[in-house]
Amino acid sequence: MKAKQPKALLILYATQTGNAMDAAERIGREAERRGCSVTILSMDEYDASSLVGEAAVIFVVSTTGQGDTPDSMKVFWRFLLQRNLSKNWIEGMRYAVFGLGDSGYQKYNFAAKKLDKRLSDLGAVALIERGLGDDQHPSGYEGALDPWMSSLWRMLNKIYPNFFPNGPDHVESEMRLLDQQKVEVRYHDISNVDSQFSVDDDLNSRENSIELACSMSLAKFSSKKRPSCFLKMIKNQLLTKAGSGKDVRHFEFEFVSSAIKYEVGDVLEVLPSQKPAVVNAFMQRCNLNPESFITVHPRKQENDIYNTDLYAQRTPIKLKTFVELAMDVSSASPRRYFFEVMSYFATAEHEKERLQYFASPEGRDDLYQYNQKERRTVLEVLEDFPSVQMPFEWLVQLVPPLKTRAFSISSSVSAYPNQVHLTVNVVSWRTPFKRQRYGLCSSWLANLNPHESTIVPVWFQKGSLPPPPPLEPLILIGPGTGCAPFCGFIQERSIQSQSSKVAPAMLFFGCRNEDADFLYQDFWYLHSQGGGVLSEANGGGFFAAFSRDQPQKVYVQHKMRENSRRVWDLLSKGASVYVAGSSTKMPSDVLDAFEEIVSKEGGLPRESAVRWIRALERAGKYHVEAWS
């Protein structure tokens, strides 16, 4: 069959954190440099039924959690799974899939793999073998992206020669890209600005400022508008032993604005504050007037999907406030394209050469070592290249957006009606060059004083741990801060038990040392004694594994095997399994333990035990919430 000859290359991406959008835009830029017209859209901006009329589509997809599709892909993916789509529905369409994942996860690049298979099942033909970017690679996902793109250009040129008028190896001058920034920034006379937006102390003003900053940010993967509400910290408690090397906190917040009825298993997303000194240093380094009032507008381009009329009457925002709320200048590392654009504005020759090298395929690994591995911030990079003065329009486009941080809620609204609790590991680490780094949000929260009136903007979201019915037996596995959501589960079930019958619950907790980081020790023991929700007398139990308290390391999966008969009893009574914690080895080790227990106690061959657990997953009774 002769391939259709499309006029433009369509690139569709699905991202959760922005990496897949970056990769899609990089593929688009490289195609444009070869003379190819490109259309780039997020999957939630594209009607999946239109695939039937497409000739060539590139898909860039990240995998989240335990093999999940990004939120922006869910509607698109549901459409593709419809049973009424025939096996030749998109026959003749050529496609290529590039996935972004982390091989430390059990279901590495699962979203990209299943998309590739489904497109093939519907009759589409792959241009080249799918590419799989890996965060564990020395160059990150770009280690796989560069060679994958080279193969893509050659195959596209072979099938669609009209894409590349001068062939796939002819790259146009890159200077023309400087005329293609996505945004324009308009400056406004302060006397014409509504005074409410110049005052940041007022709650309503803060809410408006956040909504304004989000609406002007280029972070299209972020759907955040107004915060769900504002919180005030009332408790900041250290849970780990001082000097133990771990800093885990218990935070309690009260609702400042309207209270939200959340459920156990929900997630709280927090918008952190950047240090004023860092924001001020960024403003000074970039010669920006912090008191200016601005609006940010998408620049009108050919095939532009934006309706510029929607942006014409935007309310101005103070420039400094926009940077504080929308641009992560203090914690996120800039992308490779940032260095490329910087090279055009470098006036010192040695800086220009170094930036050009970093942006080249040859310099990719060195850039990864300098930038991502060291987690250099935007401000630090700009300070390393003092001759570079980038226009604010480019900074708005290229500085990573300030993102919310998600935490499992560790309380039940039934037990604490006007509060929400979090269990947070205060992140800190040393880079390869021995520089101390701190997590932006966790360290900000840890330094908040409950006696001061700092307000915390938050969004409540559904997590991947649905609240269990009272009569459903529970097997909970939560090592470290993975126990956080289960505090809420146990609080809720304890309240329920006061008025009605509840099913038993079993919890496996793990930490390094009993005396150093046994989180919520008194809480678990309280509910595991005297007929409590976790008591063995009621068919449940609490089991703790202390990995470093003996020569042989002991983890939660070892405690599960020690209590395999109890675990099997609850499973055979219809128990639901909930696993929360680190995404590296723990979820797969726990899954292996379950399979072994089902095989041993159920008298089944291992293959049958594996199918038994898979059936539990399909029935929605095996839930995993894991994070890196």
State the pLDDT at residue 35.
84
Which domain CATH number covers 381?
A: 1.20.990.10
* Furthest C-alpha separation in the chain: 80
The answer to whether the annotation marks 62 as part of a ligand binding site is: yes
Q: Per the domain annotation, does 589 fall within a domain?
A: yes
Containing 152, the helix (H) or strand (E) segment is helix 142-159
- Cα–chain center distance at 168: 34
Domain-located, residue 404: no
Residue 459: pLDDT band (50, 70, 90) is: very high
pLDDT, tens digit, 9 for 90 and up, residues 250-265: 999 999 988 888 999 9
Q: Which residue has the higher pLDDT, 364 or 470?
A: 470
Helix 336-345 and helix 349-359, axial crossing angle in degrees, nearest 10:
150
CATH code where residue 143 lies? 3.40.50.360
| pLDDT exceeds 70 at position 52 | yes
Residue 177 annotated as part of some ligand binding site = no
- Annotated ligand binding at 240? The verdict is no
Question: Is 15 annotated as belonging to a binding site?
Answer: yes
Mean pLDDT of 570-588: 91
> Is 627 annotated to bind ligand?
yes
Residue 447 lies in a domain: no
Q: For residues 393-410, give the mean pLDDT.
A: 93
> Are 497 and 615 found together in one domain?
yes
The pLDDT tens digits for 339-359 are 999 999 999 999 999 999 998
Q: Which of the pair, 59 or 162, is modelled with greater confidence?
A: 59
Percent of the chain beyond pLDDT 90?
Answer: 66
Q: Kindly state whether residues 201 and 167 are assigned to the same domain.
A: no
- With cut-offs at 50, 70 and 90, classify the pLDDT of residue 306: very low
Are residue 575 and residue 480 in the same domain, yes or no? yes
Q: Give Cβ neighbours of residue 68 (< 8 Å, ≥ 6 apart).
A: 110, 111, 464
The mean pLDDT value for 448-472 works out to 93
- Is the pLDDT reported for residue 193 higher than 70? no
What value does the mean pLDDT take over residues 7-23? 88
CB atoms within 10 A of CB 256: 15
Percent of the chain with pLDDT over 70: 92
Answer yes or no: is 481 a known binding residue: yes
Tokens 């099938």 locate to 159
- 172, 207, 242 — which closes off a domain? 172
Domain co-membership, 566 together with 614: yes
Same domain, 293 and 356: yes
Residue 199: the pLDDT is 43
Instruction: Check whether 537 has a pLDDT greater than 60.
Output: yes
Tell me what the mean pLDDT of segment 408-418 comes to.
96
Whether 112 and 216 share a structural domain: no
CATH number at residue 571: 3.40.50.80
In this predicted structure, the answer to whether residue 211 has a pLDDT above a threshold of 90 is: no
- Residue 472: its pLDDT value, please? 96
Q: What is the mean pLDDT of residues 503-515?
A: 96
Q: What pLDDT is stored for residue 222 in this prediction?
A: 45
CA distance 521 to 175: 61
Residue 482, marked binder: no
Flag whether 556 is marked binding.
Answer: yes
Whether residue 67 is annotated as binding a ligand: the answer is no
Please tell me the chain's helix, strand, coil percentages from 3-state DSSP, rounded to the nearest 5.
40, 20, 40
Q: What is the pLDDT, as a whole number, of residue 555?
A: 95
Does residue 411 form part of some domain? no
**Helix (H) or strand (E) run with residue 612 in it:** helix 606-618
| Average pLDDT estimate for 316-343 | 93
Q: What's the confidence (pLDDT) of residue 470?
A: 96
Domain limit, last residue, from 373, 398, 423: 398
Residue 185 within any structural domain of the chain: no
Distance of CA 40 to the CA centre of its chain: 21
Q: State yes or no: 264 annotated in a binding site.
A: no
Question: What does the H/E/C string look like for 372-428?
Answer: CCCCCCHHHHHHHCCCCCCCHHHHHHHCCECCCEEEEECCCCCCCCCEEEEEEECCE
For residues 376 and 366, the answer to whether their CB atoms sit within 8 Å is no
Q: Is the pLDDT of residue 195 over 70?
A: no
The mean predicted confidence, pLDDT, of the chain is 89
Q: What's the count of helices (H) and strands (E) in the chain, helices before strands? A: 19, 22
As a whole number, mean pLDDT of residues 141-165 equals 89
Q: Which of 66-75, 212-221, 276-285, 374-383 has the lowest mean pLDDT?
A: 212-221
Same domain (yes/no): 127, 54: yes
Would you say residue 456 lies in a domain? Answer: no
Pairwise CA distance, residues 210 & 213, whole Å: 5
Residue 547 marked in a binding site: yes
- The closest alpha carbon to 251, from 269, 232, 265, 274, belongs to 232
How many residues are recorded in the chain? 628
Residues 25, 68 within the same domain: yes
The answer to whether 441 is annotated as binding is yes
Q: Which has the minimum average pLDDT: 13-22, 186-195, 247-256? A: 186-195
pLDDT the model gives residue 212: 85
Fill in the amino acid letter for 429.
Answer: W
Q: By the 8 A CB rule, do 470 and 549 touch?
A: no
Q: Which two tokens stand for residue 492?
A: 């809720």
442 is in an annotated binding site: yes
What average pLDDT does this structure show over 45-57?
92
Q: What are 125's strand-pairing partners?
A: 94
- Residue 90 confidence (pLDDT) above 50: yes
Strands 38-42 and 622-627: unpaired
Q: Could you tell me if residue 151 is inside a domain? A: yes
Residue 200 has pLDDT above 80, yes or no: no
Is pLDDT larger for residue 569 or for residue 196? 569
Q: Is the pLDDT of residue 525 over 60?
A: yes
The verdict on whether residue 206 carries a ligand-binding annotation is no
Residue whose C-alpha is closest to residue 103's, from 128, 140, 149 = 140
Q: Is 347 annotated as a binding residue?
A: no
| 117 and 214 part of one domain | no
| Residue of higher predicted confidence among 507 and 626 | 507
Average pLDDT over residues 37-49: 92
150 CB burial (10 A radius; 0-12, 13-18, 19+): middle
d(CA 185, CA 393): 6
Residue 589 is assigned to a ligand binding site: yes
How many domains is the chain partitioned into structurally?
3
Mean pLDDT across the stretch 475-489? 97
Does 554 carry a binding-site annotation?
A: yes
- State yes or no: 557 annotated in a binding site: yes
Q: Is 65 annotated among the ligand-binding residues?
A: yes
34-38, 207-211, 539-543: which has the highest mean pLDDT? 539-543
Quick one: 134 and 45 in the same domain?
A: yes
Residues 143 and 42 in one domain: yes
Out of 6-20, 299-313, 430-444, give the one with best mean pLDDT.
Answer: 430-444
Query: Confidence class of residue 225 from pLDDT cuts 50, 70 and 90?
Result: low
389 annotated as belonging to a binding site for a ligand: no
One domain for residues 539 and 584: yes
Q: Above 50 in pLDDT, residue 425?
A: yes
Q: What is the pLDDT of residue 301?
A: 55
C-alpha to C-alpha distance for 481 and 248, rounded to whole angstroms: 8
Tell whether 131 is in a known binding site: no
State which of 172, 201, 231 marks the end of a domain: 172
Q: Is 285 annotated as a binding residue?
A: no
Is 196 one of the annotated binding-site residues?
Answer: no
Residue 591 lies in a domain: yes
Q: Answer yes or no: are the C-beta atoms of 121 and 87 closer than 8 Å.
A: yes
Question: What residues make up the domain containing 48?
Answer: 9-172
Q: Is residue 151 part of an annotated ligand binding site?
A: no
